[in-house]
Amino acid sequence: MIGLQQLESARQQALSLEQAINQVVIGQEEAVRLIMVALHARGHVLLEGGVGVGKTTILRAFSRALGGAFGRIEGSVDLMPNDLLYSAWVDADGKPVIDPGPLIAHGEETAVFFFNEINRARPQVQSLLLRAMAERSVEAFGKEYLFPHMVVFADRNAVEKEETFELSAAARDRFLFEISISRPRDDAQRRKLIFDPAFHDVNQLLENIEPALVDYKALNEVDRLIQKSIYVSTEIENYVVKLWDASWQPHQYGIEMADIFIEDLVVAGASVRGMSAMVRAAKVCAWLAGREHVLPDDIHAVLLPTMTHRVFLTPVYESRREQIMPEFVTALRDKIATP
Ligand SMILES: Nc1ncnc2c1ncn2[C@@H]1O[C@H](COP(=O)(O)OP(=O)(O)OP(=O)(O)O)[C@@H](O)[C@H]1O
């Protein structure tokens, strides 16, 4: 009973947080909802989108509304793993000084860590980040730094592909979602972003968000309660298992797509980790909607962001992934009977 009351008050807080974010970040309601789900399912996120579309603004807005610290680093070819942990320099008296790097600078207070342009960083740097994501800790200066509340957001520059190190399939699998962020579609919102000076200064814009609307330190416990309390019926289980099989062998489920030889499309479907992450996220969707059980709508809300970076396509289709994956997920939804 206490659990249910706690969940309902956490839900009200979560909805106020979402509303506050959508007031300063405009035209990104879908991305904001998925980030809300990821934060409450405690999953890390890949961001896909152009330059200057408001990614940093969204993430800083979330950190402020969660009352935690925001860490950030830019990926580049010459970035070394140690650059995440410390920076060394010589002060005015010629004495060497060592400062903590961006990953450990805020320690346990880190709520959001943003790795911009992760595909510009070398695999050694990516590995360090993946370890920190999985263990929510790193070793530096001979001791262990813990970030029990950290959620990592990593952006892949989708436009420029020169000098990039694409994340391996195993690395991509560690991210709960890949969320696409693009320019708002609505004309009035686009004009507002360009002509209204309120959107030109991020620091000032973020002042409009009440700090610590939700306590970032409570999110791990809220997730535990959600995962324990939200019910998944046998029908939904069967549906999820069919979707999973169809992501591996779409032709066996009668999936058809225009201009695609479906038997050749997929090398590997979603992983076990991917499917369990999808169910965790669907439970958070059900909770946000005020339900105690998962409906097909909850699965549909998270199907694309959990599958899009996980399904491994054959090389001929890989270059069209961005166009193919939404169509593939729609075809799965249309073909597999919904309970
Ligand atoms: N949807 C939006 N709502 C509010 N402000 C926005 C939005 N989109 C862009 N902006 C404004 O545009 C500017 C650039 O945004 P921001 O730095 O967050 O983009 P970014 O995607 O992180 O950029 P980069 O790819 O260069 O890191 C900021 O002044 C920000 O306030």
Report the candidate in 123, 187, 153 with the shortest Cα–Cα distance to residue 47.
153
The three-class DSSP label of residue 320 is coil
ipTM: 0.96
Check pocket membership of 199 for ligand 1, CB cut-off 6 A. yes
For position 4, what pLDDT does the model report? 80
Report how far ligand 1's centroid is from the alpha carbon of 134 (Å).
29
Is residue 20 assigned to a domain?
Answer: no
Atom of ligand 1 at shortest distance to CA of 184?
Answer: 1
Query: Is there a single domain that holds both residue 183 and residue 129?
Result: yes
In this prediction, residue 159 carries a pLDDT of: 65
> Residue 257: CB within 6 Å of ligand 1?
no
28 lines ligand 1 (CB under 6 A): yes
**308 within ligand 1 shell (Cβ under 6 A):** no
Residues 209 and 244 in one domain: no
Name residues whose C-beta falls within 8 Å of residue 66's C-beta, 6 or more positions apart in sequence. 17, 39, 111, 112, 212, 213, 214, 215, 216, 219
Alpha carbon distance 242, 334 (integer Å): 13
Say if ligand 1 is within 6 A of residue 193 CB: yes
- Chain position carrying tokens 């409450």: 40
206 and 268, same domain (yes or no): no
CATH number reported for the structural domain that contains residue 57 in this entry: 3.40.50.300
pLDDT in the model for residue 162: 65
Q: Is the CB of 116 under 6 A from ligand 1?
A: yes
Residue 68 lies in a domain: yes
Identify the CA nearest to 181 among candidates 29, 24, 307, 31: 31
Distance CA 172, CA 152 (A): 13
| Residue 47 contacts residue 28 (beta carbons within 8 Å) | no
Q: What is the pLDDT along the chain (339 residues), one digit of tens a residue?
A: 567 888 999 999 999 999 999 999 999 999 999 999 999 999 999 998 878 889 999 999 999 999 999 999 999 999 999 999 998 889 899 998 888 899 999 989 999 999 999 999 999 999 999 999 999 999 988 889 999 999 999 998 766 666 678 888 899 999 999 999 988 889 989 999 999 998 899 999 999 999 999 999 999 999 999 999 999 999 999 999 999 999 999 999 999 998 899 999 999 999 999 999 999 999 999 999 999 999 999 999 999 999 999 999 999 998 888 899 999 999 999 999 998
Instruction: Please choose, from the candidates 96, 99, 102, the residue with its C-alpha nearest in 3D space to the C-alpha of residue 87.
Output: 99
Q: Do 286 and 184 reside in the same domain of the chain?
A: no
Which pLDDT belongs to residue 165? 86
| End position of a domain, from candidates 191, 215, 239 | 215
Which residues form the domain of 276?
230-335
CATH code of the domain covering residue 253: 1.10.8.80
199 CA from centroid of ligand 1 (Å):
8
Which of 187, 215, 243 represents a domain boundary (last residue)? 215
Whether residues 171 and 194 fall in one domain: yes
Q: How far is the CA of 16 from the centre of ligand 1 (A)?
A: 22
- For ligand 1, atom 15, name the residue with the nearest CA: 54
- Residues facing 138 on adjacent strands: 145
Residue-level pLDDT at 219: 96
Handedness of CA 56, 58, 61, 67 (dihedral sign): negative
Rounded to the nearest whole angstrom, what is the distance from the C-alpha of residue 56 to the centroid of ligand 1? Answer: 6
Contact 36, 176 (CB under 8 A): no
Please check whether residue 20 is in contact with residue 209, taking contact to mean a CB–CB distance below 8 angstroms: yes
Residue nearest ligand 1's atom 18 by CA:
54
CA distance 120 to 299: 33
Residue 189 and residue 240 in one domain? no
* Beta pairing partners, 87: 99
- Residue 51 Cβ contacting ligand 1 at under 6 Å: yes
In a domain, 21, yes or no: no
57 lines ligand 1 (CB under 6 A): yes
Look at residue 3 and tell me if it is in a domain.
no
* Residue 104 to residue 85: CA distance in whole angstroms: 6
Residue 56 CB less than 6 A away from ligand 1: yes
Residue 275 within any structural domain of the chain = yes
Ligand 1 atom having least distance to the Cα of 51: 25
The residues with which 74 forms a beta bridge, in sequence order, are 116
